[in-house]
């Protein structure tokens, strides 16, 4: 382990926490204390001390060549954000799905204290070996480290007051709901309609999960039973759509759609540089069943084939052989303030209509840019009559209802 500067780990750790606070992800004195206490660099011994405290993830287990890593230590701001959502307290029993380096489990151990209990599980034996060794070396030997399929949870120490998932599932396995105590909280980076958001579910008295807090994030996809749900289809050179299998989207009908005449509609809503637009997406899923993700590579954009707001991840709407995606335009040269207007570009027979519908959601979002969609997860098989109002996302294990 080497450092690229003469700055010591304690100072670098304090700088890391200061950055998390400046980014708006630190609202708890107990979480701040845990972040300033746990020596993150000792959980990634192959990284430099400087890299260990930078706001980036660090791979500890590579995946397939050219693919995503199999395991890593998460970005510090995301770690703090999810711990804030989890609200773990002294005495709580916590289950972590995805052991990673063991760093997050150490933070959880600090939060629940000596009267609480932390169990972390991972499907990769070499990952759990690394986590076990790092936790022992840093004094967190009371954390239970388990090798196994996280989709099955760990019934030995259930019920849990809190469950946190640090890999990216597409579905919510029944074991998690069964092992979560009534009133308990499940924080999970769930994928639906092309987006991944860290969702803070609370288990209700009737056993369903309800969330009023979700935040944009990205995680390594989970492996295991029922976790291969998202579909990806190429609709043009260097352009993909990401959607769910319950959606009536036929990629074959969309081939060549971007070559058809484009109609761009402007919403009148604008954002400053670096201002978040992420809450548009869950709002869109709450009114438009055809919501998906539009992903264009550099070549497609440079060729003028499309102009999405965010090249690799823009919300889009699909209806039959037509689509529309989020776009934006910069300020006029004479503008006194740098703001970017949001709009939508549509292609195909219904392209203009879809663009207007997307802009209608943008305008609604603009009236209250912090308003959250309510996300409710019911067991699969729940009759429609027992669901809340809103579009339904049918997965293998749960039925999600998004209400705005």
Catalytic residue among 28, 57, 71, 74: 74
Cα separation, 207 vs 317, whole angstroms: 32
Q: Which helix (H) or strand (E) holds 146?
A: strand 144-147
C-alpha span between 88 and 30 (Å, rounded): 10
- The pTM for the full model equals 0.92
Query: Which is nearest to 132 in space by CA: 95, 112, 111, 103?
Result: 103
Nearest CA-CA partner of 117 in 23, 70, 181, 73: 181
Q: What single DSSP character describes residue 158?
A: -
- Does residue 403 carry a catalytic annotation? no
Report which of 380, 378, 397, 377 is spatially closest to residue 153, judged by C-alpha positions. Answer: 397
DSSP for residue 222: P
Cβ neighbours around 14 below 10 Å, total: 13
The C-alpha angle with vertex 125 and arms to 122 and 126, in degrees rounded to 5, equals 110
Q: 85 with 166: CB under 8 angstroms?
A: no
Provide the terminal-to-terminal Cα distance of the chain, rounded to the nearest Å.
Answer: 49
What is the DSSP secondary-structure string of 298-350?
HHHHHTTS---SSTT-EEEEEETTEEEEEEEEPPPTT-SS--EEEEEEEESTT
Cβ distance 2 to 102 under 8 Å? no
How far is it, in rounded angstroms, from Cα 187 to Cα 49?
29
Local confidence pLDDT in tens for the 404 residues of the chain: 444 456 899 999 999 999 999 988 999 999 999 999 999 999 999 999 999 999 888 876 665 565 555 566 789 999 999 999 999 999 999 999 999 999 999 999 999 999 999 999 999 999 999 999 999 999 999 999 999 999 999 999 999 999 999 998 999 999 999 999 999 999 999 999 999 999 999 999 999 999 999 999 887 788 776 677 899 999 999 999 999 999 999 999 999 999 999 999 999 999 999 899 999 999 999 999 999 999 999 999 999 999 999 999 999 999 999 999 999 998 877 777 889 999 999 999 999 999 999 999 999 999 999 999 999 999 999 999 999 999 999 999 999 999 98
Please give the structure tokens belonging to residue 15: 């700088």
């Amino acid at each position: 382990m080497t450092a690229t500067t003469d700055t010591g780990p304690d100072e670098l750790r304090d700088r890391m926490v200061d950055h998390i606070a400046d980014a708006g992800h630190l609202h708890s004195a107990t979480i701040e204390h845990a972040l300033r206490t746990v020596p993150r660099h000792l959980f990634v011994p192959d990284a430099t001390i400087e890299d260990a405290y930078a706001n980036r993830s660090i791979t500890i287990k590579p995946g397939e060549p050219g693919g995503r890593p199999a395991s890593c230590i998460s970005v510090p701001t995301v770690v703090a954000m999810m711990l804030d959502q989890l609200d773990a307290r002294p005495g709580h029993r916590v289950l972590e799905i995805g052991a990673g380096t063991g760093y997050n489990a150490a933070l959880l151990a600090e939060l629940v204290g000596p009267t609480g209990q932390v169990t972390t599980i991972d499907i990769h034996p070499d990952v759990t070996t690394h986590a076990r060794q790092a936790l022992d070396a840093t004094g967190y030997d009371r954390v239970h480290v388990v090798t196994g399929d996280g989709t099955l949870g760990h019934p030995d120490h259930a019920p849990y007051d809190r469950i946190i998932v640090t890999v990216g599932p597409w579905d919510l396995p029944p074991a998690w709901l069964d092992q979560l105590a009534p009133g308990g909280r499940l924080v999970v980076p769930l994928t639906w309609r092309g987006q991944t958001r860290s969702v803070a579910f609370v288990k209700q008295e009737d056993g369903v999960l309800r969330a009023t807090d979700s935040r944009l994030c990205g995680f390594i996809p989970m492996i295991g039973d029922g976790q291969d749900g998202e579909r990806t289809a190429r609709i043009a050179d260097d352009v993909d759509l990401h959607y769910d299998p319950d959606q009536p989207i036929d990629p074959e009908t969309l081939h060549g759609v971007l070559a058809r005449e484009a109609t761009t509609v402007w919403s009148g809503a604008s954002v400053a540089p670096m201002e978040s637009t992420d809450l548009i997406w869950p709002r869109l899923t709450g009114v438009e069943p055809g919501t998906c993700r539009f992903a264009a590579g550099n070549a497609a954009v440079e060729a003028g084939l499309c102009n999405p707001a965010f090249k690799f991840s823009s919300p889009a709407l699909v209806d039959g052989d037509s689509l529309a995606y989020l776009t934006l335009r910069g300020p006029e040269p004479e503008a006194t303030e740098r703001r970017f207007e949001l709009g939508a570009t549509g292609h195909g027979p219904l392209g203009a209509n879809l663009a207007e519908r997307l802009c209608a959601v943008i305008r609604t979002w603009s009236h209250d840019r912090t308003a959250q969609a309510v996300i409710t997860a019911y067991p699969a098989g729940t009759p429609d009559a027992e669901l809340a109002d809103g579009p339904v996302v049918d997965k293998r294990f749960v039925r999600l209802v998004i209400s705005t």
